[in-house]
Amino acid sequence: MDRAAKSVVWVRWLSSLLLLFPIFSSFSLFFLLTSSVLPFFPSRQGLHFVRALIDRVHDAGRMARLQHERNTMLRAANKDLKSEAGQEEVVAAEHRAKELQDDVDKLRGELESSEHRHKDLEQEVDTMHTSLQGARDDWARLKDDVLSLTEVATLLETELKAEGPKAMAAYKASRGF
């Protein structure tokens, strides 16, 4: 394994170590690496490289933590927004249901009033129908009475025509005339 491959292995190992154990600081990683990696990088340039790797891993870990915290905050905010939106919709639906219930109660009141007026009008129609039937009966009876009176008048007229001249002659023949 050449140096580049070993450094890649160490970077991966450090990245996973920092992600698994975020409590490591740059100093503790530096101490760990200097004791274990220093034999692979004996020069000062190698030590600088190790330190740069440690800083890079540490920065990547910090960025991962920050992204995780931001993601957690965004999820919580999203959940709050969803619950608020749901609550607003529930409140709006309850308000609409109350308005509709008020409308239903108002319409029920109007229906009861209309039914009461309908019953009153039916009773009045029945009364009028009874009165009309009584008036028709009275009219038929009066018509019969008029016919019988007309017949009596005609009969009396004929009688008067027949006995009228006799009665006049008897009256004129009476003494006081």
pTM for the model: 0.38
Per-residue pLDDT band at 120 (split at 50, 70, 90)? very high
List, for residues 126-135, the tens digit of each pLDDT value: 999 999 999 9
Every domain of the chain and the residues it spans? 3-91
Quote the pLDDT of residue 117.
95
List, for residues 28-63, the tens digit of each pLDDT value: 555 555 555 545 545 555 666 777 777 787 788 788
Q: Which alpha helices (DSSP H) does the chain contain, by range?
A: 3-20, 26-36, 44-173
Structure tokens at 176: 């006081």
CA angle 146, 168, 149 (to 5 degrees): 5
Quote the pLDDT of residue 32.
56
List, for residues 135-176, the tens digit of each pLDDT value: 999 999 999 999 999 999 999 889 888 887 887 888 888 877
CA angle 65, 66, 70 (to 5 degrees): 120
Backbone angles phi, psi at 83, to 5 degrees: -70, -40
